[in-house]
Each structure stands twice: as structure tokens, then as C-alpha cells.
Amino acid sequence: MNKKLILVTNDDGITAPGIRALVTEMQLLGEVVVVAPDSPQSGQGHAITLTEPIRLKKVDIFKGIEAYECTGTPVDCVKLAKNVILKDRTIDLCVSGINHGSNASINIIYSGTMSAAMEASIEGINSIGYSLLDFSYNADFSAAASYARRIAHEVLRNGMPESNLLNVNIPAVPMNEIKGIKVCRQAEGNWNETFQEGKDPRGQKYYWLTGEFDHKEHEEDTDLYALEHNYVSIVPSAHDLTNYKAIPELGKFEKL
């Protein structure tokens, strides 16, 4: 049997502990190729690099694994992997992460981790983004890594019906406190932003984004609820943003 080909990427950069944990697990499931940003790219969303060239460098930082660092965004990494590095091969699975910090609820929209996974899904590749609810560099990825492997293994074996993109978040608790997995929907939520205002060394005013996440709802079928109750959340996600229920309601706009 041919080994499955697994593309690994992230948005925290190729040296982040989260991607290292993911690479280690994915090696148990198939042939791994890593293409990841050469610097942190959190909050890059679905950005792509149009107005300048990007560079790719083969690096030897994961023992025995083909790996490249890229100057572009997470989405650029996936595009380069598919169209240049793995041009003549079939990618069986793309995994992104393990992100340092939550991508539950509305965070999927801002997340480079999830946008990389979504890009692969747009190209028809089964894709999973993983995020651990712990921002710290020294976070304990062991439980997250174990769930990442189990979920990827299932997808490689049996696919994912009706979907090709999963947003997986893992609570920041030890393995024995995780109660299991819940398949859920994206909770409604948003960031209440404030901007830190200051003056730079040349006296120019600046604004620096900060803010607090606002849980808008805590319904039992949401990812935020699952995570708050120590479940791993899986939200099957899509790139069709159409709000179908609004289509009939907007009929009068056709008369404008």
C-alpha cells in the first residue's frame, strides 16, 4: 500500500512547538512534507501575496522530513506546496497547526491556521486545522497531538462525509481531563476591541490592536460550549459564505 501524503503547515511559523508536535504525530500516519511560514503569521486570515515575490527555502529541522520555510502567508504556503513542491503528486490530507491559541467561534475568520486549511479544502484536499487553547510557547501539546493523530487517522481511512474541512480545537487541560470529542457548530461571538494608543520614538501617534473575546452565546451545540466543558470541538466548515435563508427575503432588491 502506498503511504499517504500529508502536507503540514501552520501560521505560528515553522519553528513553533505546535507544528513540531503535529509533524511527530503525522509521521506515524504517512509521508510528511512541511511547508510553513518562516515567521509568525497569526491573524493573517486568508491573505495572499500578490504584489511581491515570495521565497522558499528547504530546511533540515525535522529529522528525516522534507520541509520548506516560505516568506509568504499560510495560504501562500499551501498554494506553493500544491502547485510547485508537490505539483506531480496527490496530497491525501492537509493539516494545519497545532495553533497556539483558540480558533473556535469567529476566530476561524481571522486565523491563518484555518485559512491555510481552508485553502487546501478549496483545492479539493481533505483538510484539518488544529488549535490548542493555550497561547504560550511552552504549552503542553501532548493531549492535542494525540487527538490530532486520531482525527487525521480516521479521515485518512474513511474520509469525512459531506465535508472536507474540519476546525478542531482542544481545551488546555491534561489528557485525563478531556471528556471526549463533540461535533458542533461555530458559536456566535466577536472581539470587543480597544486600541492601545501611544507615541513612537519619533513622537508619532500609533494604535495597537488589543481586545477581549466576547462569547455571544453558550448553546450546547456550539464549539465554545464543548470547549468550556473540556471536550475537543470539531466544526465541519465551508467556504461557501452564502446566507441561503436571506435569498428569498431579498427578492425586492431585484426591483431596484
Q: Of residues 187-246, which lie at the interface with its own copies (CB under 8 A)?
A: 188, 190, 193-195, 197-198, 200, 204-209, 234-246
User: Which of 60, 88, 162, 220 is in the footprint of its own copies by CB under 8 A?
Assistant: 162
Residues 6+ apart with CB under 8 A from 60: 67
Does position 64 interact with its own copies (CB under 8 A)? The reply is no
Nearer to its own copies, 2 or 176 (CB): 176
Q: How far apart are CA 74 and CA 37, in angstroms?
A: 6
Does position 169 interact with its own copies (CB under 8 A)? The reply is no
Binding part of the chain for its own copies, among 14-22, 23-31, 133-141, 175-183 by CB under 8 A, reads 175-183
Q: What angle do CA 16, 42, 236 make, to 5 degrees?
A: 95
Nearer to its own copies, 64 or 240 (CB): 240
Omega before 98 within 30 of 0, i.e. cis = yes
Does position 15 interact with its own copies (CB under 8 A)? The reply is no
Q: Which three cell numbers stand for residue 122?
A: 478549496
DSSP 204: -
User: Which of 22, 108, 133, 172 is in the footprint of its own copies by CB under 8 A?
Assistant: 108
Q: Considering the complex, what minimum distance in angstroms separates the CB of residue 63 from its own copies?
A: 26
Angle between helices 17-26 and 142-158 (to 10 degrees): 40
**Three-state secondary-structure class, residue 67:** strand
Does position 143 interact with its own copies (CB under 8 A)? The reply is no
Nearer to its own copies, 2 or 122 (CB): 122
240 is in an annotated binding site: no
Does position 55 interact with its own copies (CB under 8 A)? The reply is yes
Contact by Cβ (8 Å): 112, 70:
no
Does position 4 interact with its own copies (CB under 8 A)? The reply is no
Q: How far apart are CA 236 and CA 159, in angstroms?
A: 13
φ/ψ (deg, to 5) at 242: -55, 135
User: Which of 3, 43, 136, 217 is in the footprint of its own copies by CB under 8 A?
Assistant: 43
Does position 80 interact with its own copies (CB under 8 A)? The reply is yes
Q: Considering the complex, what minimum distance in angstroms separates the CB of residue 154 from its own copies?
A: 6
Q: How far apart are CA 115 and CA 142, in angstroms?
A: 24
- Which residues are annotated binding-site positions for a divalent metal cation? 11-12, 42, 99
